[in-house]
Amino acid sequence: MAIIGNNIEKAIHLLRDGELVAIPTETVYGLAANALNEKAVLSVFSVKERPAFDPLIIHVHAISEVLKYAEAIPEKLMVLAKKFWPGPLTLLLTKKAIVPDLVTSGLPQVAVRIPDHPITLALLKEINLPLAAPSANPFGYISPTDPAHVDQQLGHKIKYILDGGPCKVGLESTIVGMENDEVVIYRLGGISIENIEREIGQVRLHINLSGDPKAPGQLKSHYAPRKPLYVGDVCELSKIYGYKKTSLILFGNTDIEIHSVKTYQLSATSNTYEAALKLFKILHDADADASEIVIAPLLPETGLGPAINDRLKRASVQ
């Protein structure tokens, strides 16, 4: 198992040496490597068992740092950067040559974000290197929102987990880029569509649910527990699958009566931000409990509802 601690100096030492360190962010824990060290980046792919066609996000601590690795930030994306950074926003920008092709899987754009976590911001300032960091989970499995999740999943493969407590957003960043003059959202995440559109007007969604590997990171089988997860109308699903030992996930609806081994509540007050915060922890817990299957609802399409539904659909049996 890895050492879990809050020693930033130790993390810096390991990262400078080309080792991997799990780092806290406000979204999910990341599996970090020096983005400029190709050998270290290669080990991110191997530790995660992640295909090389799925590029990595680099993390920096300031907009001035972003411009060391990207050519420019287009005006509309700059509005978002100034409003939401540090925070759960990732921008796709034309990369500079200094960024290894391995990081971007050969694509001309690099994904960059400034995470909103005091420990990781302090680490980034001091190390003065960009950190490539995908979510710190084995490829396709549930993302980690606390150090124990990382340790359970990857603790045997890495030396150190920087402990920043539980993540306060709980869903990965929203990924935004530009095509011609249009702003496009490629992954729904911790910043809602409404909040983005309030700043820059209407944007286009290009979210791929088909499982087409040409759309990196948007593979259908993702965020998945090991046991079958069924999503939709929980009462209907329970009628079909309820003969199996069931874990039930609810969003509000506290008076629902379905027989289950265990019931988890995403948000008793039907708040999608609270649900985002709890989603991956509940999926981890449901995966470890005594049930055979997990049943979950789809959320209303407001706030972080669409991002949560995206995760649930990708994680489910279809």
- Interface residue list for ligand TXA (CB under 6 A): 25, 27-28, 30, 54-57, 88, 90, 92, 104, 107, 109-111, 113, 115, 133-135, 172-173, 175, 216-218
Residues 6+ apart with CB under 8 A from 9: none
CA distances from 17 to 31, 34, 163 (A): 15, 9, 20
Compute, in degrees rounded to 10, the torsion defined by CA atoms 20, 21, 27, 28.
Answer: 80
Q: What is the nearest approach in angstroms of ligand TXA to the Cβ of residue 113?
A: 6
Residue number with CB closer to ligand TXA (216 or 297): 216
Burial of 156 (0-12, 13-18, 19+ CB in 10 A): exposed
Bridge partners of 175, per DSSP, are 90, 187
Which does residue 90 bind out of Mg ion, ligand TXA, none, counting CB within 5 to 8 angstroms by kind? ligand TXA
Q: What is the nearest approach in angstroms of ligand TXA to the Cβ of residue 184?
A: 11
Which does residue 282 bind out of ligand TXA, Mg ion, none, counting CB within 5 to 8 angstroms by kind? none
Task: Kindly determine how many residues on this chain lie close enough to bind Mg ion according to the rule CB under 5 A.
Answer: 1
Residue with tokens 């100096």: 9
Which does residue 173 bind out of ligand TXA, Mg ion, none, counting CB within 5 to 8 angstroms by kind? ligand TXA
Compute, in degrees rounded to 10, the torsion defined by CA atoms 288, 290, 295, 297.
Answer: -60
- Binders in 3-62 for Mg ion, by CB under 5 A: none
Q: What is the nearest approach in angstroms of Mg ion to the Cβ of residue 143?
A: 6
Q: What is the nearest approach in angstroms of ligand TXA to the Cβ of residue 234?
A: 28
Q: What is the nearest approach in angstroms of ligand TXA to the Cβ of residue 298?
A: 22
Residue nearest to ligand TXA according to CB distances in the complex: 217
Q: How far apart are CA 25 and CA 127, in angstroms?
A: 16
Which does residue 277 bind out of Mg ion, ligand TXA, none, counting CB within 5 to 8 angstroms by kind? none
Which does residue 299 bind out of ligand TXA, Mg ion, none, counting CB within 5 to 8 angstroms by kind? none
Q: Report whether 177 contacts 189 (CB < 8 A).
A: no
Q: What is the nearest approach in angstroms of ligand TXA to the Cβ of residue 217?
A: 2
Which does residue 161 bind out of Mg ion, ligand TXA, none, counting CB within 5 to 8 angstroms by kind? none
- Binders in 97-136 for Mg ion, by CB under 5 A: 135
Q: What is the nearest approach in angstroms of ligand TXA to the Cβ of residue 54?
A: 5
Residue number with CB closer to ligand TXA (47 or 56): 56
Site string for Mg ion, 133-152 (x = CB under 5 A): --x-----------------
